[in-house]
């Protein structure tokens, strides 16, 4: 996955790729990344280009898998745990 700290996009969505809960044979984080990327492709191009979605090995939210961070330069950053998927 890409390094979330060097992206050119103004907003970053970073998903933990090591959360232990799994979706079939893969870790849940990889599934969540693909799901977010797919949903962004359905949005207006200018919105989709403003976001970079990537994975990071650990976001220190192990007690609440799957953990997702929302980052933006010069703005408050958010970390969410227990993120659910559509399926």
- From first to last of its 87 residues, the chain has per-residue pLDDT tens of 455 444 466 899 999 998 776 656 678 888 889 999 998 888 888 777 888 999 999 998 888 888 999 999 889 999 999 887 766
Distance CA 68, CA 80 (A): 5
Q: What is the pLDDT of residue 87?
A: 60
Q: What is the pLDDT of residue 7?
A: 46
Q: What is the pLDDT of residue 5?
A: 46
Distance CA 23, CA 46 (A): 31
Q: What is the pLDDT of residue 15?
A: 95
């Amino acid at each position: 996955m890409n390094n979330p700290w060097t992206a050119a996009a103004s907003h970053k969505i970073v998903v933990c790729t090591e959360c232990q809960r799994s979706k079939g044979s893969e870790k849940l984080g990889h599934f969540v990344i693909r799901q977010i990327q797919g949903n962004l492709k359905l949005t207006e191009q200018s919105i989709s280009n403003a976001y970079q979605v990537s994975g990071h090995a650990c976001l220190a939210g192990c007690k609440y898998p799957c953990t997702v961070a929302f980052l933006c330069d010069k703005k408050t950053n958010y970390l969410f745990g227990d993120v659910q998927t559509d399926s």
